[in-house]
């Protein structure tokens, strides 16, 4: 402000008219004081804008050069993992009480209300969120929280480095080391998945128990067959000396998400039910009757050494995507499907092509062979024909892993 002061002194030294010298001096002083203040304010504003502009440009250059994304997009991941943790802790507190208490079924109004929720849309949104690539620096914190919450054993994973998994979907579908799941040689039937045994036993009166005390119709679950003159149970049996058995395995979010062939068998038909996507955790299974008949599911049916055999992958909330490795045409949780319908696909012959077949046709699967995968956790239901002296080597609520024996003859 040195220039302004010199200007002010110069003006004040000039001789005003004799009759207004005093007033003129006051006017000049006020005029240049106001100009000095105005100039000072403008200089301060310009300096502030210059600093802000330089800061913005420096921030943009740093963001572009380092690939850093200062956006709030990681918040959904933190919200989902945090909500999942709280839900899981609540589930653990209630699980033992629910197992011991008698089932309390929902009313038709409650089921209809639950059924009306847009679970398919939410599951598709969750699937897209799982496919978003995480920045390298965020992968370990997110996956570590998930591992700690659900008790995931990463020492079994083929790749233990958490930075290797680009998104949540890759982490959920991680592969295991070759020796992590040895197959039980003494059992003719092994577990198809890691999980918890919800129920097992014989099928009586064409009704299957999803949990103890809550049943569902075998025909509603598998869909109609060609011949209706016999009971549905007898229709599936190829030998009168055999019986029909079932096993239900629940896959929790922390379990290994792939499912394998429980025995050597031949898959002849795939039946896809679009259905809804309710939760299939044991608490809901004790609350909603015929839950497995309402949810989207993929039923694989065929033959094994003792007759009829089927493996059904049941979808759930946030698990709308069910993948079968040998079936590239299968598309689950698609908006073009209508609820209540089903779609058949034969593996015996597709046009002039026969897929991985024997002389009689059908997809042959070996014991322990990988069949498909879920994106999170869900349920596997086995329905099979076997001699009446077949014995299960299981306990209700037992934790089981792929390759462990289910029963023997």
With contact defined as beta carbons under 8 Å apart, do 249 and 193 qualify?
yes
Quick one: which of 338, 212, 189 has its CA closest to 265?
189
Catalytic residue (one of 123, 206, 261, 378): 378
Strand partners, 301: 269, 310
Catalytic residue (one of 199, 260, 272, 306): 260
Q: Which residue has the tokens 């943790």?
A: 85
Q: Which residue has the tokens 């569902």?
A: 216
Confirm whether 260 is a catalytic residue.
yes
CA distances in angstroms from 132 to 87, 216, 256, 318, 369, listed in the order given: 23, 38, 21, 15, 30
Rounded Cα gap, residues 82 and 76, in angstroms: 10
Catalytic residue (one of 98, 123, 187, 194): 194
- Angle, CA of 396, 307 and 311, to the nearest 5°: 50
CA distances in angstroms from 76 to 165, 234, 321, 352, listed in the order given: 18, 51, 20, 48
With contact defined as beta carbons under 8 Å apart, do 292 and 381 qualify?
yes
Rounded Cα gap, residues 160 and 331, in angstroms: 30
Confirm whether 378 is a catalytic residue.
yes
**Is residue 208 helix, strand or coil?**
strand
Give residue 374's Cα distance to chain centre: 8
Catalytic residues: 194, 260, 378
């Amino acid at each position: 402000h040195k220039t302004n002061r010199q200007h002010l002194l110069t003006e004040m030294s000039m001789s005003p008219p004799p009759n207004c010298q005093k007033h003129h001096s006051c006017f000049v002083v006020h005029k240049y004081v106001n100009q000095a203040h105005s100039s000072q304010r403008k200089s301060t504003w310009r300096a502030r804008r210059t600093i802000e502009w330089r800061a913005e440009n420096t921030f943009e250059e740093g963001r572009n050069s380092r690939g850093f994304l200062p956006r709030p997009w990681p918040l959904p991941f933190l919200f989902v993992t945090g909500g999942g943790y709280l839900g899981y802790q609540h589930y653990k507190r209630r699980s033992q009480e629910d197992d011991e208490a008698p089932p309390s079924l929902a009313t038709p109004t409650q089921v209809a209300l639950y059924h009306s929720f847009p679970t398919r849309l939410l599951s598709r949104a969750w699937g897209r969120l799982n496919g978003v690539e995480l920045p390298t620096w965020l992968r370990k914190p997110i996956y570590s929280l998930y591992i700690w919450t659900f008790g995931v054993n990463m020492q079994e994973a083929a790749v233990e480095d958490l930075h290797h998994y680009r998104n949540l979907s890759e982490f959920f579908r991680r592969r295991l080391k070759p020796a992590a799941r040895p197959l039980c040689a003494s059992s003719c039937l092994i577990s198809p998945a890691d999980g918890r045994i919800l129920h097992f036993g014989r099928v009586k009166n064409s009704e299957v128990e999803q949990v103890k005390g809550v049943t569902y119709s075998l025909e509603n679950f598998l869909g109609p067959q060609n011949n209706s003159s016999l009971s549905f149970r007898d229709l599936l049996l190829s030998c009168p000396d055999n019986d029909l058995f079932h096993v239900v395995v629940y896959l929790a979010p922390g379990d290994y998400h792939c499912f394998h062939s429980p025995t050597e068998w031949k898959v002849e038909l795939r039946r896809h039910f679009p259905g809804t996507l309710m939760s299939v955790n044991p608490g809901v299974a004790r609350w909603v009757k015929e839950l497995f008949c309402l949810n989207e599911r993929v039923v694989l049916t065929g033959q094994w050494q003792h007759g009829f055999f089927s493996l059904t992958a049941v979808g759930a909330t946030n698990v709308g995507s069910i993948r079968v490795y040998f079936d590239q045409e299968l598309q689950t949780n698609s908006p073009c499907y209508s609820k209540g319908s089903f779609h058949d696909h034969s593996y015996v012959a597709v046009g002039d092509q026969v897929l991985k077949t024997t002389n009689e046709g059908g997809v042959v699967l070996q014991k322990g062979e990988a069949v498909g995968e879920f994106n999170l956790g869900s349920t596997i239901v086995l329905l099979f024909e076997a001699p009446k002296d077949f014995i299960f080597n299981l306990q209700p609520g037992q934790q089981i892993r792929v390759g462990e024996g289910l029963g023997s003859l």
